[in-house]
Amino acid sequence: MKPTVALVGRPNVGKSTLFNRLTRSRDALVADQPGLTRDRHYGHGRVGEKPYLVVDTGGFEPVVDEGILFEMARQTLQAVDEADAIVFLVDGRTGITPQDKIIANRLRQNDRPVFLVVNKAEGISQSIAGAEFHELALGEPLAISAAHGDGVRELMEMVLDPFPAATDEKEARHPKFAVIGRPNVGKSTLVNAILGEERVIAFDQAGTTRDSIYIDFERDDHTYTIIDTAGVRRRGKVNEAIEKFSVIKTMKAIEDANVAVLVLDAQLDISEQDATIAGFALEAGRALVVAVNKWDNIDGEQRELVKREIARKLGFLDFAKFHYISAIEGRGIADLFKSIDEAYRAAMVKLATPKLTRVLQVAVERQAPPRVGQVRPKMRYAHQGGMNPPIIVIHGNALEKVPDSYTRYLEHTYRKVFKLQGTPLRVQYKSAENPFDSEKESKGGKPGKLVTLGKKGKLRNKP
């Protein structure tokens, strides 16, 4: 399971800037104004072979006892309890403050490892930047610049050193699937229906499950692990700090699973939050099965309306199977479980390089990638780059010019040919320039370089 790293500190010390640097995103708002972050941001990061989850907390004002700042402080303390490691940011330009001392005292009472980080230290030597912060008694201060990236990689290597590298998915001994969805849609009832007994609390009140519950069981002589997760509410309706940070546990459960079972309530409108939860599972690359629960409580006309709404709002889940069930009556559970098995097999499939290359050649013959200017991308061969989700790596020339629409065409082709029902599939590109191109050399061009591209053809690195 990925470790969780919480970014903690008083307002305006650069937590959101560091969050964006670690996640290589701009998900967290950044401005020269304290208290801008009031809700949690969760993101993915990776250092070498070690992926992790990072949480950007709101500014910690420990001296207030009411209002929004008090709630933010209370939630930050809860984040500290949920995290595996804590990065405590202080401002190297402002220097040590009374709030920093109070926060340090609070963090020393926790058993999580704490890393004291002096931000905004660009142009300042490590010893000078951290000199006065030894007073906080949290170990050797580490000087970084979140805005410029100085020292950030070294920091995260130190934070993640005690944690093992990511395990290869192919070593998984048996399927794990997480039951996810909004509160009170029947997740725990579905878990009990699958297990055939009341192993988890099922109650007609939103938010009954506060933690993710892992249960091993056997079905048809095969071993499985089912994960019952806490419901994820829309941000504006999450008031209790403990409930806010059960979102972290849900995210970690999805990361730890091979398959996510998204539970919808047929009696409720398909909401933006349903799409958000599905989107997180998709971003994590997990296979997906959708269970539309409480189907027995609506009539024929309502059923058609629900199906049309699902097609409109969850159309991006076209790779997943949808099942219309009644968890409380136990209807549709057997077929749902067949789809879970099928999605797991698709996610963990092993694809031979010759077959992948032949499918690529046929796809290109049927529809070649479009020309961009005077250049047409040339695709040479393909091989499998990973599982859960299946990753297909295509090698060739000028592949940075392949449009998103053509990538989707290749994904659809591979999914259809190999019958990969229930799992997302990712196509990545590796493009190399010709190192013996004498014309480029004579014009001062650089020798061949490897350009690794993401799913959408955007430049990721140029080693």
For the annotated binding site for GTP, the residues are: 9-16, 56-60, 119-122, 181-188, 228-232, 293-296
Backbone φ, ψ for residue 262 (5° rounding): -85, 120
Give the closest residue to 295 by CA, choosing from 286, 308, 304, 287. Answer: 304
| Token reading at 189 | 């009832």
Count how many Cα atoms sit within 13 Å of the Cα of residue 120 in the half-sphere of its side chain. Answer: 14
Are 19 and 27 spatial neighbours (Cβ–Cβ below 8 Å)?
yes
List binding-site positions: 9-16, 56-60, 119-122, 181-188, 228-232, 293-296
Give the closest residue to 377 by CA, choosing from 412, 455, 425, 429. Answer: 429
- For residues 15-45, one letter each, b for 16 or more C-beta atoms within 10 angstroms of the residue's C-beta and e for the rest, the string is bbbbbbbbbeeeebebeeeeebbeebbbbbb
Non-local (6+) Cβ contacts of 148 within 8 A are 122
Are 165 and 50 spatial neighbours (Cβ–Cβ below 8 Å)?
yes
**CB-CB neighbours of 236 under 10 Å:** 7
Are 418 and 454 spatial neighbours (Cβ–Cβ below 8 Å)?
no
Are 385 and 206 spatial neighbours (Cβ–Cβ below 8 Å)?
no
Non-local (6+) Cβ contacts of 217 within 8 A are 194, 195, 223, 224, 225, 226
What's the rounded Cα separation, in Å, for the pair 400 and 296? Answer: 50
Are 307 and 339 spatial neighbours (Cβ–Cβ below 8 Å)?
no
